[in-house]
Every structure is written in structure tokens, then in C-alpha cells.
Amino acid sequence: MNKEHFSEDEWKAIGQAIARLRASVMAVTFGIVGGLMLFVATTWLLILGPTGDSEHVGPTLGLLANFFPGYSVSWSGAVVGLFYGALSGAVSGFVLAFVYNLIVVFRKR
Amino acid sequence: MNSTDSKVRCVIIGGGPAGLTAALELSRAGVEPIVFEMDKQVGGISRTVDYKGYRFDIGGHRFFTKVDRVHSWWMDILSDEFLVRPRLSRIYYQGKFFDYPLKPKNALLNVGLMEAILVGLSYLKAQAFPYREEKNLEQWVTNRFGKRLFTMFFKTYTEKVWGMKCTEIGADWAAQRIKNLNLGKAALSMLAPKLLTGKNQITTLIEEFYYPRLGPGQMWERVTDMLEERGCPVRLEHRVKTIHRDGEQVIGVTVVDGDGNEERFDADHVISTMPIKDLLNVMDPAPPVDALEAANRLRYRDFLTVGLVIDSPELFPDNWIYIHSPDVKVGRIQNFGNWSPYMIPDKSTSCIGLEYFVQEGDELWTADDEALIELGKKETAKLGLIDPDKVIDGVVIRMPKAYPVYDHGYKENIDSIRGYTDKIPNLHLIGRNGQHRYNNQDHSMVTAMYAAENILGANHDVWDVNVEEEYHEEAHAEKGHGASGERLVPQRVREASPIEILNDAFAKYDPVALGGALGTMLGFVVFLATAGLLLKGGEDAGATLALLGNYFPGYNVTWAGSLVGALWGSIFGYIIGFVIAVGINVTVSIHLGKLLRRLGVLDGPIG
């Protein structure tokens, strides 16, 4: 392939394509990242143990229990957090891709 | 041909709409053309076949055009003979009749609530999991309507008509053919049809149309009479054997009549509507080998109608029904009495036309008439449209080369052929088969009018005729031979070009779309988090979340604050998404530039 292979119109078209997002791939990716993030964040606090004057481990992260019933900063809570993180990540990834694709289609029209 | 009385001697090959229009236009200008038609009657595919007084319209021809000149022409010829007919057409699928255009109540009742939900889910799925590539018809339609709607209303019928799988038909065709129709417009036309008027109206949704009292053939029979009255003969059953050429001019035509007698006619101009493939094969001397081979590569889709006469005054209310069911071969059924009551001589009977899209020489094409009539009876009865015992007569009408096919390489073939024919200025190619373009009747007539005017001194490009303005605009984008007018015939999926591969690999993100998506999501998250805490209640509810107020002025964990938070979340999300997309795009452009420079294609920056 060299320069002579391109017409003027083709030349203008290079790099102008707009990517679409695959909702399934986004859901899986965000799900894995979300689940692992919450799992690692919880276990990291457990490994560090109580800090400062507090007797509790991870009091702030523990507030996530308001949104994720059953979650706590404990070893069992880390597994529950893995599940919730994965679930909320997957939903976020899916919605993000879905809305993105809708806007792209709308703007193309 | 007596040439002494005419300033110009003009031979017209073909007595269809294009040929007869050209003849009448020329005769009105004082030229006396002669028309040769191979068939026993005029009209081409727009003819009306008379069988024992029953009149069969081959394919169903609504007289609708956006070209004022053509409309005036029609009215001038048949004025009082035109009927204004209501249009009713339905789609038959899985034992149900769907109104076409679709109507919500009818569609919902037919598919049922569960199927309607599945259609909705299928649409959502297509939006969430779109095909990344839109190379073929299936991918293009599914991405816009969902798989279930594609299967119900696009797949089977398209495959019946074109004899190709939807995965083999290029997406370009769908983009042009169906571009005016999307779920939004379809919904609007169902709910508020009056909002869709004039040029914005989708062509297929027009509810009334003009129709000659005795079918479309009446138009061309009348034109033939007018020509004869003017002293311009229209000779039927005359096949063109040879077109004589001397250098860069055609000088005459030799025809063979039904009895095998040959006769030569000298000509200053030849207007041809015969299939290009046949035209090049009768040229003398023969065309260059490459042009002849290109002509012989052109393909056609053929068509046959099984006409049934039924001893029943009423069958169904439609003008025609699209048959989407895959379990029968028939593609469309015409009810001629509903096109015009004058098509039926005995009002206690009905006649219908079962249309089969075939390939010349295939199993259906070569089947004997009796077998085809039996097949027609069997299939119509299976669809529940008639009682087969009430069929009292039948006839089979075959129409070869009804549709020119735009297969892979078709454009190159036409270019090669035109490289030869364009050098012969007094040979004028017009009409559907004359140009190998899927022209409608009005489109063919415009090419004929232009050709006639060219003979009289004008300088029109007959290959640039395009009836619909929006298509005309598209034709400017791609101005190769035969580019315009290719909207109605599918093209095969083609291989991706290097540019398309590059674009696929280096596609950019739409910053507005990514910003919009992230903004929407973040706005919702903040709103839901706040609302969740408010619903849960408690003394210190949301004390930590309220710290967001440090970044979102006016935000707190209250109902009003939830809306403020949603707004701020949207704004932040939009900015973040936009910046991420721009960042990715810059990185992608740098990599693309590096690649192109490495390939020696690019000297400076892209763009």
C-alpha cells in the first residue's frame, strides 16, 4: 500500500470512523475491575488492621453497606463486596456502552 | 422505412414505457420514428395481459411520480381514464396479516403481548450489542430494528425477491433503500400520519394512487394508437437481428418478424431499450472483446405471475399482499379487482396474480403451466386466501429480465460497455434494461424524454437521470457510470478496502457521545445514592456522602440536593468522558500517523 492507492475522498476518510462500544465486553470488563477493586480495597484494609485511635477497620468503606446490603469490612464482606462490585461494574459498563451507542447513532443521523 | 418525409430517421428498439415515450416525444417534434417490439403486445413489464377478458398487471404499477413532467404526460394521455384508488396492502407472516404500513393496534393484536415484549427486548439488545460492522443487509437492519423485526419483516421477502441471502447483500443498498424508514418515523406515521406529508413522506406509505381503469397497459396501448394515428408504426413480434455500424455511427437495423422475414431499416439514430447484453451481441461489426465479455457477464432476475380466476366476487380487501412466510414460494399476491374493478369482466368472479421471483431456466421457470397453476392454488389455499375448489381458470405469464441485478463487478462491466457505446453518439440507451438500471416507470420515461431531446439537439446526460432528489444528491458523491439509480437493487457484499480496514482498526471515540454516556450515568449514580440514603433514613444519614458538597456547590443529602447532585454528576461525567475520548483519539491519531509514515503513505500530519 502506498500513497497512490488512495483517492482524494479515501484520503479524507482516513481516521474518520467512529468506534462503537460492545456492551457485553464493557460489562464484563467493568464488572471484573469493579469486583476486584472492592475486594482488594477491603482485604487491604483488613491486612493493615485498625489505624489511629479507631478500634474498627475501614469505617468509611464500611458505609458502602448502605448501598450493598450484607457488605462489611471483613473477610466474608470482601467476598460479598466482590459480588457487588462486579454487579455494579457490569451494570455501569453496560449502561455506558448502551448510552454511548445510542448517542453515536443519533448523531450520525 | 420511408425516410424522405422525415428530417431524422429514427429506429426505436422496444415498445415499453421508455421506447414508446421516446417515440411519442419525437413524433410530436415532427420526427417519424418506427418502433420494433419483440413481444406480441406493448408495455414491456408495464403491460397488462388480457386473458379471456381478465386483465393482469405484471407486478402492480401504481402511477405515482415526483416528476411533474411525467405526471402531466400521464394525465395528458389518459386523463379521464385514471382512477384514484385507495391503497391497502398487508404483510402475511406466520398465519397473520399485518397492516402495511404497520398500525400499532393491529401489530400488537397479531404478534401478542409476549412477542411484542420480545421484539422490544430484541431492539434493546441490538442497541446494546450492535454488530460492530455493518457490511451486509442483515447487520444494517438488525442494528436499527432488532433481530426479531428483521426476521419478521425483512429477511424472507428480500431473499425471495433477490434470490440472495441477506448476509450476501451489501449494507449500502439498505442504507439507500430504507434510509427514510426508521423506528421513529414508522412510529410517527402510525400515531400521527398527518405530520408526515409532502416530500418527507415515505414513498411506500402513500395511501392513494392513480391507476388506469384497464391497468397500466392501457397507457401504452393508447400511446401506440396515438403513434399509429400520427403515422409512426409500432411493429410487434419483430426481433432485432443486427444493428449495423459504420465507424462511430450506427447506420441501420435488421429485424426479423414473426414469420422469419428479415428487413433492414436505415437509421440516423437508434434508441435502444433492449437488454444491453443482447444489444452488444447483435452489433455488426462486433464490439471489442472486453465490452462484449462485460455485457455477457450482466445478470438479470426474472419473474413469473400465476394468474388464477376464482368463482367468488370477493376474496380479500388488499390491492396486494406481501408474503413473508418462508413455507411458500410465492412472494406477492395481487388482487386485480381491487386495483380496478374494470379488470374483471364477470363481477361474480375475482382474479389474482401470484408473483414468483425466479431465475430464467430454474425449476419454477421451466415448470409447465399446469404445474405452476396447481402450485399457485395449493399455496394460496395454504395461506387461507382462497378455496382451491373455486379456482375456475388459470394462466402463467413469464417475464424474463424483469430486474437487472447489480452483482459484484457490475459497475466495472457497465463502465466497460459504456467505454464502447459512448463512442457511438447516435446510439441512445434508455429504460430499465437499456441502461441495466432498476428504473421505475417514471424514471425510464425521463431517460426517454431526454434521449428524444438529444436527437433534436439538446445535450442531456441520460445516465444522470434520477427521479428522487435525495438520490440525485448522493449521485454526486460517486459519479461513476451508472452510479445513480442503483438504489433499488441490492449489491453483493464486497471485500473491505484498505481504508475501511484502517478505519476499523483506528476508529475514534465520539467525545460528545462518551461525555453524554458518562454524564448520564454519573448523574444517575449520585441521584440514586442520595435517594437511597434518604429512603433509608436515620440520624446521620448521608453525612459522608454530603462531603460531595465540597465539589458540588449546593449539594446536600436532601431531595432537592439529589437533583443538584444529579446535575453536577452529569456535568462532571460529561467533562470526564469528553476528555477521555479526546485523549484516546489523539493517541490513536499519533499511532495511525506513525503507521502511515512507516508505510510511506504520509509525509506530514494526518488531515
Longest dimension (CA), chain A: 73
CB B596, CB A10: distance < 8 Å = no
Which three cell numbers, joined as nine digits, stand for B201?
Answer: 413522506
> How far away is chain A from the Cα of B495, in angstroms, using its nearest Cα?
16
Give the Cα separation of B559 and B541 in Å (integer). Answer: 13
Closest CA to B431 of B276, B300, B273, B301: B273
- Best mutation target among A28, A104, A109 (most B Cβ atoms within 10 Å) is A104
Pairing type for strands B54-57 and B283-284 reads unpaired
pLDDT band, very low/low/confident/very high, at B486 (cuts 50, 70, 90) = very low
Whether A99 and B600 lie within 8 Å, measured CB to CB: no
| Candidate from A5, A18, A22 with C-beta closest to B508 | A18
- Best mutation target among B510, B524, B599 (most A Cβ atoms within 10 Å) is B510
Please tell me if the domain spanning B10-47+61-80+215-297+408-488 has the same topology as the one spanning B299-405.
Answer: no
pLDDT band, very low/low/confident/very high, at B366 (cuts 50, 70, 90) = very high
Between B182 and A106, whose confidence is greater? A106
Phi and psi, residue B532, nearest 5°: -60, -45
pLDDT band, very low/low/confident/very high, at B190 (cuts 50, 70, 90) = low
Between B467 and B417, whose confidence is greater? B417
CA B182 to chain centre: 16
Closest CA to B340 of B101, B78, B545, B65: B78
Percent of chain B with pLDDT over 70: 84
Closest CA to B56 of B399, B391, B525: B399
Give the type of residue at B76.
D
Percent of chain B with pLDDT over 90: 51
Question: Which residues in chain A have their CB less than 8 angstroms from residue B181's CB?
Answer: none
The pLDDT tens digits for B491-529 are: 556 566 666 777 777 788 999 999 999 999 999 999 999
How is chain B split into domains, by residue range? 10-47+61-80+215-297+408-488, 89-205, 299-405, 511-598
Note the CATH architecture for domain B10-47+61-80+215-297+408-488. Answer: 3-Layer(bba) Sandwich (3.50)
Percent of chain A with pLDDT over 90: 45
pLDDT band, very low/low/confident/very high, at B175 (cuts 50, 70, 90) = low
CB B215, CB B334: distance < 8 Å = no
B577: Cβ contacts below 8 Å, ≥ 6 apart: B511, B514, B515, B516, B517, B518, B519
- Best mutation target among A12, A28, A103 (most B Cβ atoms within 10 Å) is A103
Distances (CA, A) of B169 to B51, B130, B397, B475: 37, 18, 28, 20
* Of the ranges A53-62, B57-66, B350-359, the best mean pLDDT one: B350-359
Distances (CA, A) of B223 to B40, B57, B218, B230, B607: 16, 17, 9, 11, 57
Q: What is the mean pLDDT of chain A?
A: 84
Q: Which of residues 343-382 of B touch A (CB under 8 A)?
A: none
Question: Which residues in chain A have their CB less than 8 angstroms from residue B498's CB?
Answer: 1, 5
Instruction: Over range B360-382, report the average pLDDT.
Output: 94
pLDDT band, very low/low/confident/very high, at B180 (cuts 50, 70, 90) = low
Q: Does B544 touch chain A (CB under 8 A)?
A: yes
B176 HSE (CA, 13 A, CB side): 21
Q: What is the mean pLDDT of chain B?
A: 84
pLDDT at A90: 94
Is it the case that residue A28 has pLDDT exceeding 80? Answer: yes
Between B242 and B487, whose confidence is greater? B242
The ipTM of this complex is 0.81
Question: Which residues in chain B have their CB less than 8 angstroms from residue A102's CB?
Answer: 127
Q: Does B536 touch chain A (CB under 8 A)?
A: yes
Q: Does B329 touch chain A (CB under 8 A)?
A: no
Distances (CA, A) of B525 to A95, B300, B326, B499, B563: 12, 58, 47, 40, 11
Instruction: Over range B419-435, report the average pLDDT.
Output: 94
Give the Cα separation of B559 and B544 in Å (integer). Answer: 16
Give the type of residue at B523.
G
Which three cell numbers, joined as nine digits, stand for B463?
Answer: 445516465
pLDDT band, very low/low/confident/very high, at A49 (cuts 50, 70, 90) = confident
Is it the case that residue B207 has pLDDT exceeding 90? Answer: no
pLDDT at A13: 67
The pLDDT tens digits for B85-129 are: 888 888 898 888 888 766 767 777 888 888 888 988 888 888 777
> How far away is chain A from the Cα of B93, in angstroms, using its nearest Cα?
30
pLDDT at B38: 95
Give the Cα separation of A81 and B582 in Å (integer). Answer: 33
DSSP 3-state of B607:
coil
pLDDT band, very low/low/confident/very high, at A56 (cuts 50, 70, 90) = confident
- The CATH number corresponding to B299-405 among 1.20.120.420, 3.30.70.3270, 3.30.1050.10, 3.90.660.20 equals 3.90.660.20
Is it the case that residue B183 has pLDDT exceeding 60? Answer: no
Other CB atoms within 10 A of residue B247 CB: 8
pLDDT at B184: 53
